[in-house]
Amino acid sequence: NFGYVDSGSLFVPPAFLGAAALGGALVGAGFAVGGYCPGTSVVGLMSGRIDAAIFLLGLLIGTVIFAGIYPNIEFLTSLGEYTNADTLTDAFHISGLTIDMGMVVAAIGVFILGSWMERKAKGLVKHPS
């Protein structure tokens, strides 16, 4: 039997934009510095890559440290709470098209920044002649 769910009986948790931004920046920085995400680091480890093993070890140590200090930083999990908004359009009172355009501009900006950083890194590496 397929029925309908009354939308009033559903719980939508509040958005914590500050906490999401902080967590995303920290996790993203870890992935960028390490050059792996958790899944690819496991594949790298199984392929015999020592850098992947070091990344995974750091990931595990970081997780243990986070679990140990969590009671002291738990207040950060509700940073930037928007209790009256279920979407970004509601939170910022702008159209969905504006949000979409902002995401496209951000993606292009990240691509340009990444390309620039790659060119700078290649310029710093001296290739043997």
What tens digit of pLDDT does each residue of 22-62 get? 889 999 898 888 889 899 999 999 999 999 999 999 999 99
Distance CA 122, CA 78 (A): 41
* Amino acid in the structure at residue 80: G
Adjacent-strand bridge partners of 82: 15
For residue 125, the model assigns a pLDDT of 62
Distance CA 114, CA 79 (A): 29
13 has a pLDDT exceeding 60:
yes
Structure tokens at 33: 């510095």
Mean pLDDT value across residues 95-123: 91
Higher pLDDT, 75 or 91: 75
What's the pTM value of the predicted model, to 2 decimals? 0.58
